[in-house]
Amino acid sequence: MTVLLMFGLIISSCTESTSPEEKRTAMISKVDSLWGQLNAVRQQFTYEMDEIEERKEEMQQQLIRANFLKENQLTEEQKLWFIQYESVARIYKGVGQQYKNCVLNAENVFYALKGLDSQVKKGKYDEKVDEFRAEYAEIQKELAECAEETTDVVSRLSAVEPTYLRLGDNVESLLNELIPESK
């Protein structure tokens, strides 16, 4: 009997109408949490949007030039440089476009969230809480997918970045020394 009474009280308190200001304040709080999540995603973008794609292209050109080297021109260490460099290039090839897509997806979420935020503050959803919930859920889903993909792509890039930084200049200077570019 007490359980039924408690359940009845809980149900009635949930169906009591709250003021539009209270609803709006709750919605603004939910939107603010999405802003925080989006900012966490955007902080992972440490490269310019096209930087990885440009690096990939540069590395491919260098590896094409490296095909003209004779094996006896390289020391064992230099041969190892090219093996590692080619591995980095393969990873860049796979994630270059993905990184760009992550940046663009985050921007799409930004504009959708900005629109939702503006509409909430104007009071559009004060009496249309279900519409807010649907819009909020969609943006939250897109943001979660963006965050997951961004974390995956950035972790793969972070894993090879030290190798790229260590080898990039060495490979370029070696290629310029052994195969001067025609001018």
pLDDT digits (tens, 9 = 90+) for 18-58: 787 888 888 898 999 999 999 999 999 988 888 888 888 88
Structural domain span for residue 31:
20-178
This prediction's pTM: 0.75
Would 161 be classed as within a structural domain? yes
User: Is 4 a member of any domain?
Assistant: no
Burial of 158 (0-12, 13-18, 19+ CB in 10 A): exposed
DSSP H helical ranges for 51-180: 51-66, 76-122, 129-178
Is the residue at 81 inside a domain?
A: yes
Q: Which of 163, 71, 40, 149 is nearest to 104 (CA)?
A: 149
* Total number of domains in the chain: 1
Residue 123 falls within a domain, yes or no?
Answer: yes
The verdict on residue 10 lying in a domain is no
| Residue 179 · residue 68 · CB < 8 Å | yes
Helices 51-66 and 129-178: angle between axes, nearest 10 degrees? 30
- Is 3 within the bounds of a domain? no
Q: Which two tokens stand for residue 30?
A: 């939910």
User: Is 13 part of any domain?
Assistant: no
Is 9 part of a structural domain of the chain? no
| pLDDT tens readout for residues 122-178 | 888 878 888 889 999 999 999 999 999 999 999 999 888 888 888 888 888 888 887
Of the candidates 142, 163, 49, the one whose C-alpha atom is nearest the C-alpha of residue 98 is 49
